[in-house]
Amino acid sequence: MPLTELTGPLGKKRAAHLLRRTCFGGSISEIDTFSLLTPAEAVQRLFDPELPDPVLPLERATGQEWITTGTTQSEEFELRRQFLAWHIGQLLGNGVEEAKKLSYIFRERIVFFMHTHFTTKQSVVGSSRSLYFQQALFRLFAFDSEDIVLPPDDPEDPESMETIVPRNFKQLTKKISVDNAMLVFLDGRFNVKGSPNENYARELLELYAVGRGLEGNVPEPEFVGDYFYYSEDDVQAGARVLSGFTTDNTFSTIDEETGLPRGAVRGGTIASSHEEGDKTFSNRLDSATVTPDPALLAGGNPTEESTLDEISQFVDIIYNQAETTRHICREIYRFFVYHQIDQALQDDIIQDMANTFIANDFKLQSVLEALLTSTHFYEAEAGSDDNNFGSIIKSPLDLVLGHIRTFEVVLPDYETNLDDYYNFTTDLLREIGRQGMDYYEPFEVAGYAAYHQFPIYNRSWITTNYLTNRYNFIRGSISNGMEMEMGQVDILAFVQANFDDATASNARNLIIAISEYLLPTAENLSFDTPDVGELTVERLNYFLSAFLTSPQIDADPEAAWTFRWQNGVDNEVIANQLTSLFNAMLQSPEYQLM
């Protein structure tokens, strides 16, 4: 069945699911608020078109921004560390007003998705400014429902018209092809006339656009150099189209349509390093030809305008292929829904996403709106016991930032307490690294294995060492409130703030209430009736035992808990018991899922 819209209020479970997949989770109050909304209302809130631009990264040594000025006192490797630590704050909506925060975080999550798709590595790029402007490009295209409107060339001329520039995934593909960071990462700067470098053309076809087909069901080649949906000849012709650009380390070459820095054509007025003439592709790409526009040439020679137009023609050819939209939609699906896609799912859900993509001029927002409001996003299949709750293993980024989001940990103020801010966010990056994600340093050109490596996908996040480090992070991040360190959660204060006394005073009811917010598969829970809820009675009793038998054993543990809570006595014992409970729940297999 195609993507059909889910109607009616989300409820707690679906609201928590939506926020985990889009915003690294939500606080108790955010989940409660979204539980009352329909999926359409919730998704509309997430796509707020009026969001602020980020505050520029500040150099730790000077407290001044370096992105636009290029003026620093720090080594470049340190600036890249600070840029990544800065971006952790952006992913958390640090400093953004509450009314805008969830949408801001969702936009940054899409920026991260785009990074997993158009992959770069910070160590190869070697420039914090290039990385920043690439992110700015992703940010510009993250919410793409409205096209870019450029003002008239002459505002005082009544006949001078505004220019409408498409804002969609196809246009982003054109822009990323001459992005400074990408020109370094995939050697586009070395692609010159007479000495083609095919790296970017190859990855554009294989990873970013057409792809090799449905993973696990890739078609067999029919001739030497055939990849079924494109060929080796297409890689070579694409490299000729893309030739002649280099990086602009002054960041003074500004793209007229985005207003952002990009790479520069070699040769100045004449693109002297660009391969001249027509570029014809194989029948895998419809035997299409990229032809230089004579009106853009200078004396028959290629110019910056003509080479950019050739790239635009090439990307148009790629997006005319049905497999391009399917490939991109598979990546969207794996990132937001589930990693496993078989032929039946491709023919149904993926194709419906692809049809939506094409019908809406390749706008990512249209696909996400249809997906995130669909029955499939939540229940997977009507009339089936299967669903998409808890179907993805949390990435280290999701686990660490999800913890910050759930427990509303407040980051040090970025503008007034820069040292503590960088100390804290750098520690978060280290935790993410210990759990298996070297942020902005994926091991492969294709990106982080969890998002592309068939058939393991997100299971690659879990090894013995990585799991141990996840548990160590949890243990170190919650506190009984007696001796608090930066970033730790006072569990007693958290429970007092989020659960009423009637719930909190009853140990079993408290476990059920907490589970409904923290665990993706926690509905209709009962300590008394087996096989009713999504967690077994044995699992619930395990949490109960961890809760009430540590740090001391009472003759009647449940009654003793109720007495302590209702009378406000032995707060240290209460806090220690809650710490034991949350340690058990947050180190459970269920909490590793989203």
pLDDT value at residue 382:
45
pLDDT at position 1 is: 59
User: pLDDT at position 268, please?
Assistant: 86
- Which residues of the chain fall short of a pLDDT of 50? 382-384
pTM over 0.75: yes
| pLDDT for 384 | 44
Q: What is the pLDDT of residues 259-306, one digit of tens each?
A: 999 999 999 889 999 999 999 999 999 999 999 999 999 999 999 999
What's the confidence (pLDDT) of residue 383? 43
> What is the reported pLDDT for 415?
86
Which pLDDT score is estimated for 188?
96
Of 220, 221, 225, give the one whose Cα is nearest residue 202: 225
Please tell me the predicted confidence (pLDDT) of residue 275.
97
Q: For residue 130, what pLDDT is reported?
A: 98
Q: How far apart are CA 534 and CA 119, in angstroms?
A: 37
Indicate the SS3 state at residue 26. Answer: coil
Per-residue confidence (pLDDT) for residue 423, from 0 to 100: 96
What pLDDT, on a 0 to 100 scale, did the predictor assign at position 484? 61
* 3-state SS track over 316-374: HHHHCCHHHHHHHHHHHHHHHCCCCCCHHHHHHHHHHHHHHHHHCCCCHHHHHHHHHCE
Task: Please provide residue 246's backbone torsions phi and psi, each rounded to the nearest 5 degrees.
Answer: -140, 170
- Write down the pLDDT at residue 207: 97
Alpha carbons 565 and 562: distance in angstroms, whole number: 5
Exposure on the CB side of residue 559, measured as CA atoms within 13 A: 3
